[in-house]
Structure 1
Amino acid sequence: MQRLPDAGRSYWMRTVAFPSFAPLTRPAEADVAVIGSGIAGLSTAWELARTGRSVVVLEAHRLASGVTGHTTGKLTALHTSVYDTLRRTHGERAARDYADSQSAALRHVFDVAGQLGVDCELETRPGLTYCERPDAVDALRAEAEAARSAGLAASFVTETGLPFPVAGAVRVEDQAQFHPLKYLRGLVDDIVAHGGRIHEGTRVTRLDDGDPCRLTTEAGVTVSAGHVVVATHHPVFDHAVLAARLTQHRDLVVAGSLPAGRDPDGMYITTEGGKRSVRTSPLADGNRLLIVTGEAFTPGTGEDTEAGYARLEAWTERHFPEVEISHRWAAQDNSPTDTVPLVGRLPTGGDNVYVATGFGGWGMTGGVMAGALIASLVDGAPHRWAGLYDPGRLGSAVQAAPAFLKAQWDTGKHFVKDRLDTFGDGTGGSVRDLRPGEGTVVRVEGKPCAVHRDDEGELHAVSAVCTHLGCIVAFNNAERTWECPCHGSRFGIDGDVVQGPALHPLERRDPPES
């Protein structure tokens, strides 16, 4: 497999430039502090800034450089096969509210883009969930009927625009796709125009709820805010209640130019074969960028990520032979054990602390919906969908008990296994045999140590104990990161936090002798 230039940086991030914002260096006050600058955080900040409130956005890295910067950019209320599950576990009313809320978010993007004059390559397309296996057809027929009952323009079809036959598909009309970062660039400009303050390179490491709330950054700077919104993908200030109801998964993405005449003219997804998602985006030369996602895996489990990319590229080249892969990246999502995202008041926080998480791979409509819902809660106004998305809900959590228990079993299994595993001793072949670009976990003086050999042959070593809750990290050989299997935290080869919920870096260690 060829090594692509700037591999790992998404097409969206390479084709839009955000202004730079300085880190927070002095104490600040605001009506609302938003932690995280993905689509959920920026949508919430935009909604609140437009009401005249003072808003400050605090981002640990660069704007929209996390999950949102690595999305596939679909705006759809058809979330694989969610509606048949919802009506069985939550009831018909919940399925209708879910469809209404996600469809309203889709329409809101059109309204906001038009209002702000944002050219974000917004295109109307049908959304389709398909299967190739005949034994999966009945489930999709049930999903089509459930989606139709929930109010979507859904139908069951056997013909699609894909260049290969399918056994069946759920098709929903009038969905959309866009360039997510061009859309968010428009929001950022308008937030600033309405007096909002944005600080990059500002990691919040402590939240003290109260009236007002008090935030403390990694640099020791404090922020006082009447309301706080935690929009950090994983709820970093909740170690038990919500974390226990979320599972992590990571998807690989490849993309390349496709002749316009070969556009499959839709947004497609299947859970078969390790998941496959297909859409296109316009290119300046009149062709289309084909974006294919799949090979889903749990971060931190030692998956051979390079092999996953190879399988995804082979699938793409087999079905779309005209495409030459030019981009690849990966996206991480978390899914709630009872299917519905967790948006509203943080159960472990005060009445003025809110959270948006658990979008299950559908964060574009989910994030926009979250912004409108949280803004309404901050206003003190009742909201039709608040009960459905309430992070403190209990009824649906009981319905999802088997999924919840499985998630806890998987986390506990890693936690126990990590403490019984002997790894290597730091002096044997496991380190000596590392080739450039590889990494492994060994024990050095009895402690788990994560060791990576860079392209120049130099060893880098850090503690292998995740700073979130203490699970042992594993190496991702394609992205060259250390990843936690318990809650999805990711770290660079020198231990710096790439993605939470971890707030602190892995401790640096002296490399063992090789």
Structure 2
Amino acid sequence: MHTSGTTAYPPLTEDVEVDVAVVGGGIAGLSTAWELTRAGRTVAVLEADRIAAGVTGYTTAKVCALHTLVYDRLRRTHGEEAARLYATSQQGAVERVAEICAGVAIDCDLERAPAFTYSVRQEGTDILRAEAEAAREAGLPARYTEDTGLPFAVAGAVRVDDQAQFHPRRYLLALAEDLVAQGCVIFERSRVTEMLGGTPCTVTTEAQHTVTAHAVVVATHYPIFDRAFLFARLQPRRELVVAAPLASDPGPLGMFITEDEGRRSVRTAPYGADGQRLLIVTGESFTPGTGDAAASFARLDSWMREHFAVEDTAYHWAAQDNDSGDGIPMIGPLHPGARHAYVATGFGGWGMSSGVLAGQLLSGLITGDDVPWAELYDPRRLWHAMREAPALLRQQADVARHFVRDRLHTAHVDSVTEIPPGSGAVVRVDGHRCAVYRAEDGTVRAVSARCTHLGCIVAFNAAETTWECPCHGSRFATDGSVLQGPAMWPLAPVELPGTQPGPGQGEGGATTSGP
């Protein structure tokens, strides 16, 4: 975000008609729009904020087909053909990025490098050997190795060569310019709040302007329209990132990930004009609205400094991912009855390759082209139901626990006066739970603590100064505005007795926003 340009595409201010409406301007939405435009379709992209500025703007930007330990699991649970199709489609996405960069002349720091899944535990080597064998059988150039180039010892690793890493914003902003040159229209600050299926389909923004289209693609990371109850099959998680310039050497060549030590993911990127590299370290996952993000950031930063020679930490942030119950993304028809509505979600932390793949797959479905791996990713898949069941039950038990417990649990503080500057807490006021934030200058801002998606109680994330829903991962700013779905409506502002409303909240007590 700091090393790429800004965008200023106009909002939707009148009704339009196109072949395909794409809701969401991240890598999945823009890739789908690009593929469809190249296929001769007219496309409108509608983004609630700015394109490539949500999850895609804060990704660690690995474009690879080695997704930790996926292939041996796929081989055992879904069969060798499923593993082969997964490898073919994911590696195809890697090559598609390289092809587009060359064809459109995009300068986005694209680098081809090996990807590693490693373990520091000797007892983990048998798992890695099985993964290397499964990935090789699936068609990837995979091999087992004990030499990674990392500055610390590992017990073993899976290596797959010729993967990629890049600057996703530079890639996507150039892709957007090419899209507009081809006749696609992009609308920013145009939050979609309603969709009607049928022939044709219509989507409506909160400003009550509509796009009429033959097909609609919902590429909002977490589906904002969910008639198939996909939220019951998705588990949101936040993952922290720290980044620091390497002190002397260029760092290890490649992209590295391990499930050890609470999961750690490492890569480097160009930093500055003198050949210096930025070390990017990811890990410390937690469900939104739970955990101590500040402590997790401290652990991650400490791990980075223990294992690498780096300068002062230059950046830290968090990104959000959605895991499907069976570990396979959901790309295809939105629900069993859908004829012209499609979705892309559940990328499980591998959104760069899966987002590009989604563009290819959805474009093929809409234009009538045969896509060999369409059934593997189909959100309507029932043949995975038994395999999804344990994860589904665990997730829904957690949701039910939050839905009930968070209502019965006593408030975090007894009164607003107990909230220190720069902090927030859920407070019971006149029998209602309010999410109250006190700014550093003492100004108090209060909103309803009830998430506008399905009504769970939000919690305060002090490290990111946000309200987060622990049930399905919606995130809100302290003024209640939506930062991340599936929620479409802001948290309702509340006027507390004896306090002044925060900036932008106005006068006159509580109001309602949305259904």
TM (norm. structure 1) is 0.95
2:207 aligns with one of 209, 219, 239: 219
RMSD value, Cα = 1.4
Distance between the aligned counterparts of 1:326 and 1:239, measured in 2? 42
- In the alignment, does 2:160 pair up with 1:175? no
1:240-389 aligned within 5 A? 241-259=229-247, 261-283=249-271, 284-301=273-290, 303-347=291-335, 350-389=338-377
Distance between the aligned counterparts of 2:452 and 2:246, measured in 1? 43
1:499-514 aligned within 5 A? 499-511=484-496
Distance between the aligned counterparts of 1:433 and 1:459, measured in 2? 12
- In the alignment, does 2:70 pair up with 1:82? yes
Distance between the aligned counterparts of 2:208 and 2:18, measured in 1? 17
Residue 310 of structure 1 deviates from its aligned partner by 1.0
Distance between the aligned counterparts of 1:342 and 1:201, measured in 2? 26
Gaps of 5+ in 2: 500-515
- In the alignment, does 2:176 pair up with 1:192? no
* Structure-2 residue corresponding to 1:421: 409
Identity %: 57
Distance between the aligned counterparts of 1:254 and 1:354, measured in 2? 35
Distance between the aligned counterparts of 2:295 and 2:439, measured in 1? 20
Which one-letter code corresponds to 1:297 in the other structure?
F
Distance between the aligned counterparts of 1:511 and 1:268, measured in 2? 50
* Structure-2 residue corresponding to 1:10: none
Distance between the aligned counterparts of 1:88 and 1:415, measured in 2? 35
* Structure-2 residue corresponding to 1:141: 129
Q: Contact 1:269–1:277 (CA<8 Å) still a contact in 2? A: yes
* Structure-2 residue corresponding to 1:492: 477
- In the alignment, does 2:74 pair up with 1:94? no
Distance between the aligned counterparts of 2:129 and 2:498, measured in 1? 60
* Structure-2 residue corresponding to 1:153: 141
Which one-letter code corresponds to 1:441 in the other structure?
V
Runs of 4+ in 1 over 4 A off after TM superposition: none
1:129 aligns with one of 117, 131, 134: 117
TM (norm. structure 2) is 0.94
Distance between the aligned counterparts of 1:259 and 1:480, measured in 2? 31
1:434-513 aligned within 5 A? 434-511=419-496
Residue 397 of structure 1 deviates from its aligned partner by 2.4
Q: Contact 2:421–2:442 (CA<8 Å) still a contact in 1? A: yes
Q: Deviations over 1:211-236 (max 9, x none)?
A: 11011111111111111000000011
| Structure 1 residues 511 and 321: CA distance shift in structure 2, 3 A | farther
Which one-letter code corresponds to 1:103 in the other structure?
Q
Which one-letter code corresponds to 1:227 in the other structure?
A
Distance between the aligned counterparts of 2:144 and 2:345, measured in 1? 31
Which one-letter code corresponds to 1:299 in the other structure?
P
Which one-letter code corresponds to 1:122 in the other structure?
L
Which one-letter code corresponds to 2:458 in the other structure?
V
SS across alignment from 1:30: strand
Residue 393 of structure 1 deviates from its aligned partner by 0.3
Gaps of 5+ in 1: 1-12
Residue 382 of structure 1 deviates from its aligned partner by 2.2
SS across alignment from 1:442: strand
Q: Contact 1:247–1:335 (CA<8 Å) still a contact in 2? A: yes
